[in-house]
Structure 1
Amino acid sequence: MIHLVKKYLDINRFSNEKPAFEDLFLSHPNYPSVFAITDSLDMLSIENIAIKVPKEQFPELPEAFLAIFKEELVLVHKKDGQIAIETAKAEKKQIPSNAFLEDWNGVIIAMEPNEAVTGKSVAFNYKGLQYGLPAVALIALSLAFNAYGLNHAITLITSVIGLIISIFIVQEKLGYKNEMVSKFCNINPNTSCDSVIKSNQSEINKWVGFSDLPLLFFGVNVLSVLLQPVGSVPIVGALSVISIPVIIYSVWLQKFKVKKWCVLCLAVSIVIVAQAVTFWMAFGSEVNIAFSNLYFYLFVSVLFASIWLLLKPVLEDKVKAEGSAKELKRFKRDYKLFDFLSKEIPVLDGFQRLEGLVFGNKNAEVNLAIIISPSCGHCHKAFQDAYELYLKFPEKVFLNVLFNINPENNENPYKPVVENLLALNHHDPKKAEEAIIDWHIKKMGLDQWKEKWAVTTIDMKANHQIHQQYHWCGANEFNYTPVKLINGKMFPNEYEISELKYFFNAFSEEKAIMENNSVQA
């Protein structure tokens, strides 16, 4: 399902949002569902809609959209009266419009294209460069310091190809999904790399499975040929010939036991056969392998196998940890849990009379208040997180910044910061916004800040608010900062302000219910 949405993001020029979407979608409490898709897109501020459309309006739909077809999500392309659909299993087929309409339930997910992107952007794969450059450097060094014949070059090239395919096999086994590989592996209904690689028949023992063998074989071959091509190529060829029975067993396993074809496994088999043919053509039945070359190959084999057997459990634990983290995120993003942890404010009376620095839409479903102090280091982060949430969702968030500072303590060097902020706010809220950003986000020094934002006189209203806010905090025993309040309740300590975006839909529904109840009353 996820690769269809990611492909749809590509079509609408949101390629840079794919990693963020994947993280939000997989950790959504309603995963996997249409709501999880649309909610995740909402959090990324991508305009989208999930709606049931009358079939008569089908011609008016965009050229590409997601739809529920035969009770599963598909990516739909309309062109010249034909419908091209792609399924979650990466299967593609062309069907006439009338055939599509018969099995389509009318539900679509559509999104607005990203108009901010003027040209086709090309994502640069830094990770590929990170691994590719050292590999190219090793091959270049080997070519520079060793004499390569045609059969040596062919063996090296086929071994590198085999190693790359082997890495894809291990990724499938561990659960790392690669879009390109998934397309090849599910090229038709009879192919499924996942079914073969993860089947019980593919396990040899608890340490090594058939999915490890290609990686070990080609990894050792590449390393040996790079370091000692002349001595290693005959051994690689001989082992390729010996491996033919294993290939036959692999094909039998796929055909009669699993009853699915693994495209990656077949590709590995072809590479090994190619190496065996190259060996037979170059050496025939007469081959002499020096003991020193055999010792070298065995040494490399033990070294590579030891490294892999040490590394494999680490990778498996990492995959399990990532899966657990997603499950925990899903649990944490359940609004019922957030609401349960949001405790009532002990003394709410008087809160509406507190006037601080306000940002955003006063009618927003999220009413966030933070009570901070200019001398508090943690308040810098609280304000920055809250302010960034407001900037990203100005229509959904109303931010109210209040202060907790003793008005009687004239020895507090930070008292003028609050006085000046509130005085500025009464006369020019825009300047007050710039001033609080200088203090909490840019972290300007006290003397420099006072020099820039000093107000000639502090009016009575500012002083009155300092007293009111301080006494209201005292009545609630808020003897600390920052204090975070959300929609008239205490913000749970178990959550970060940035995580509020996960609950926008829930807050909106809650607000609608409250408004409906008040109208009925």
Structure 2
Amino acid sequence: MKISSLLKKLSLDKQEFHYQFESHPDYPSNLAFSDTLNLLGIKNEAYILEKEFWDELPDEYIGIVDGTFSIVKKEQKDYKIYSEKMMSLTKNQLYEKSTNLVILFEKIENRDAKAVSTFNVILYMLYISVILYSIIKFTWYETLFNILSLAGIFISKELFKQKFGTDSSIVTNICGGNNATAFQASCDKIFDSDRTNILGLKISDISLVYFLTTIFIGLLFPFSSSVLKITTLLSLTAIAYSFFVQIFVEKVLCKICMTINIILILQILISISCFTWIEIDETFPIITIMLFVTVFLSVAYINSILLQREEYKKSSSKSMRFIRNYKIFKHILLTSDQIEFKSTKAFFVGKKTAKIHISLISNPYCRFCKNAHKLVIDLIARYPVDVSAQIRFNYVNESQDSEYSELLSYFKWNYDNKSEHEFIEIIDRWFNINNIIEINKISYPLSAIDLSEITEIGIENMIAGLDLTPTIIINGYMFPKIYDREDIYYFIDKLVDDADFNLHGL
């Protein structure tokens, strides 16, 4: 499913989305799509709605346009469609191309913008450094030659990434132009027709090896003009092969292939007109060949690692479809004995009438509990009506040191005297700073705090054998150990809607 523009519009990672979507037991259904959005933080509801009511829809929603999930955004008279690509449709065109399914979604405000990866920052700095070094060290034509090699590396790297499912705006723009559908199809057809397999590398991968080799030669070896001239002339075979496949075999032109060919041709022209023949050491050709082989094997190794990762993801997706089946999850969940707690007042957050109640067995000195707390609080924030929780610290007064008692006193004072939000904040602050002096500065118990309720909770935990932290209990049933805690996001909607499972208030 090609929904690049939709994922970009929602600020979702493409690889993460497809992994979660394809591992859904109902993939590729509408339910699987909706559940995946929920899992990744895009709260949504799906409806079958006759088009006569579509004028009442919000300005932005998700529908199925031309058989593909798409974001539909109302403009003045037309509609912007974000799916495989972005396009504009009139109201009549939209209605003709759409099914009656609409998904209303809620964008998470202030979502963290995807930071530019450290790798890319270093890479761009390296590009700039190479250009500056070439300008200072070499002649204008040698500098231009190196810049062309960098351009070839950049495009070939983007092709290499795209092979493993990472969208490249550079490749899309070059292949798309003003006629994205036709030209993108042409590029895809050429790439799909490439049956080359040299240690797992295709022709597009070998272009990366070629440009990396030429940049290393141009930068590291002085007086290498003769070798570069020979190398560029050898690239004529690759250019001829590329044109032959495009014109005579596939009978379509690939714009990205043409771009790489133009770079190669420009380098040939520079080498013929500007590079001079000079006598070279007899070992230099051997060094050049060794450099090429080293770069080739390095790229082949990276390629094999990424291929293995892709195979693992496919295999994992199939396994996850089974384990993420709600019926299986519910069956495993209900196989444990139900635990009933009597002490349910202290450190209770959320609505008493919530359908799903989570008991979090915790310890403020447990480093793994921090993420469990964040998970539970996030669930309450996402489902304020349907999910509640009680934080149950493993505390027995007689066996605890004075600092633990002091810390829980601060928690209890905040719970009794401040808002729920402020109580949650102080626990979150503790897990972030882990410094009782700092907690003391923002808590003001004027007298000793009665911790008998907290002690009762600790004793109940101990009697139930709940000594491991963090432990999550849902409506009295222990969250199955074979699942990751984060998998609760995957099942929470179904748990809420399951009338046989949910509570009717505490």
Using structure 2 for the length normalisation, give the TM-score: 0.78
Query: Which residue of 1 is the match for residue 202 of structure 2?
Result: 209
Distance 1:317 1:489 in 2: 38
Query: Which residue of 2 is the match for residue 231 of structure 1?
Result: 224
Change (3 A) 1:102 1:279: same
Distance 2:317 2:409 in 1: 45
Change (3 A) 1:230 1:57: farther
Change (3 A) 1:108 1:375: closer
Q: Does 1:504 align with 2:492?
A: yes
Can you list the C-alpha shifts for 1:402-432, whole angstroms capped at 9, x where unaligned?
A: 345456x467657845984797489546587
Q: Does 1:167 align with 2:157?
A: yes
Can you list the C-alpha shifts for 1:40-78, whole angstroms capped at 9, x where unaligned?
A: 443455454543443334555566654323323345465
Change (3 A) 1:457 1:300: closer
Q: Does 1:360 align with 2:353?
A: no
Q: Does 1:493 align with 2:481?
A: yes
Distance 2:292 2:411 in 1: 72
Identity %: 21
Amino acid in the other structure paired with 1:6:
L
Tell me the secondary structure at the aligned position of residue 337 of structure 2: coil
Query: Which of 472, 480, 484 is the matching residue for 1:484?
Result: 472
Structure 1, unmatched stretches of 5+, are: 10-16
Change (3 A) 1:482 1:83: closer
Distance 2:74 2:469 in 1: 57
What is the correspondence of 1:424-503 to structure 2 with a 5 Å cutoff?
424=413, 427-428=416-417, 430=419, 442-445=433-436, 456=447, 463=452, 466-467=455-456, 470-471=459-460, 473-474=462-463, 476-478=464-466, 480-503=468-491
Q: How far has the Cα of 1:397 moved from its partner?
A: 2.6
Q: Is the 8 A contact 1:172 1:194 kept in 2?
A: no
Tell me the secondary structure at the aligned position of residue 159 of structure 2: helix
Amino acid in the other structure paired with 1:267:
T
What is the correspondence of 1:18-417 to structure 2 with a 5 Å cutoff?
18-19=12-13, 23-24=16-17, 26-28=19-21, 29=24, 30-43=26-39, 45-46=41-42, 48-58=44-54, 65-76=61-72, 81=77, 85=81, 88=84, 90=85, 96-111=90-105, 127-146=119-138, 148-150=139-141, 152-185=142-175, 187-189=180-182, 191-199=185-193, 201-228=194-221, 230-232=223-225, 234-258=226-250, 261-282=253-274, 290-291=280-281, 294=285, 297-324=288-315, 331-344=322-335, 346=337, 348=339, 351-352=341-342, 354-372=344-362, 382-383=372-373, 385-391=375-381, 393-406=383-396, 409=398, 413=402, 416=405
Tell me the secondary structure at the aligned position of residue 224 of structure 2: helix
Q: Is the 8 A contact 1:365 1:504 kept in 2?
A: no
Q: How far has the Cα of 1:359 moved from its partner?
A: 0.6
Amino acid in the other structure paired with 1:73:
F
Structure 2, unmatched stretches of 5+, are: none
Q: How far has the Cα of 1:218 moved from its partner?
A: 1.4
Larger mean CA deviation between 253-262 and 239-248 belongs to 253-262
Amino acid in the other structure paired with 1:509:
D
Distance 2:28 2:79 in 1: 25
Query: Which residue of 1 is the match for residue 3 of structure 2?
Result: 2
Distance 1:192 1:382 in 2: 49
Q: How far has the Cα of 1:163 moved from its partner?
A: 1.9
Q: How far has the Cα of 1:486 moved from its partner?
A: 0.5
Larger mean CA deviation between 70-79 and 449-458 belongs to 449-458
Change (3 A) 1:65 1:440: closer
Amino acid in the other structure paired with 1:470:
I
Distance 1:484 1:115 in 2: 28
Tell me the secondary structure at the aligned position of residue 102 of structure 2: strand
Distance 1:58 1:35 in 2: 21
RMSD of Structure 2 on Structure 1 (CA): 4.4
Q: How far has the Cα of 1:436 moved from its partner?
A: 5.3
Distance 2:150 2:134 in 1: 14
Q: Is the 8 A contact 1:370 1:401 kept in 2?
A: yes
